[in-house]
């Protein structure tokens, strides 16, 4: 359990739908639960990087953003001042993101490749 006051743990209510979705989608428990909970809560945006999970979430009508999308928006707003360095750190930390996605993003902002 979290020791912070800004994180709220909310269980999925419809466990039958969760089990059905998990077995039919071939996703991990975390991705499946995130999609089910997002639908139950009527969230505006789901944070998910896993490609298969993103496809399922989009197919069920959810809006999805990944960590690259968040970093891009923070760069646009000036909260992240060095997008190239942020992506280099993701690579250094072995975060599983397709390097082409990072390169495409850098190109969009006319920044040098990794």
| pTM as predicted | 0.77
CA distance 33 to 29: 6
Least confident piece of the model among 26-30, 63-67, 107-111: 26-30
Are 114 and 99 within 8 A, CB to CB?
A: yes
Are 91 and 74 within 8 A, CB to CB?
A: no
Q: What confidence tens digit (pLDDT) does each residue in 64-99 have?
A: 999 999 999 999 999 999 999 999 999 999 998 899
What's the rounded mean pLDDT across residues 43-62?
A: 92
- Cα 44-47-58 angle, rounded to 5 deg: 65
Task: Please state, for a pLDDT cut of 90, what percent of the chain lies above it.
Answer: 66
Q: Quick check: 1 pLDDT over 60?
A: no
């Amino acid at each position: 359990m979290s020791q912070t006051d800004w994180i709220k743990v909310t269980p999925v209510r419809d466990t039958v739908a969760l089990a059905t979705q998990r077995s039919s989608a071939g996703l991990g428990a975390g991705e499946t639960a995130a999609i089910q909970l997002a639908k139950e809560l009527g969230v505006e945006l789901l944070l998910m990087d896993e490609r298969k999970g993103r496809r399922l979430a989009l197919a069920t009508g959810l809006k999805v953003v990944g960590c690259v999308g968040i970093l891009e928006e923070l760069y646009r707003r000036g909260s992240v001042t060095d997008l190239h360095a942020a992506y280099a750190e993701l690579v250094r930390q072995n975060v599983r993101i397709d390097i082409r996605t990072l390169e495409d993003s850098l190109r969009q902002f006319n920044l040098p490749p990794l």
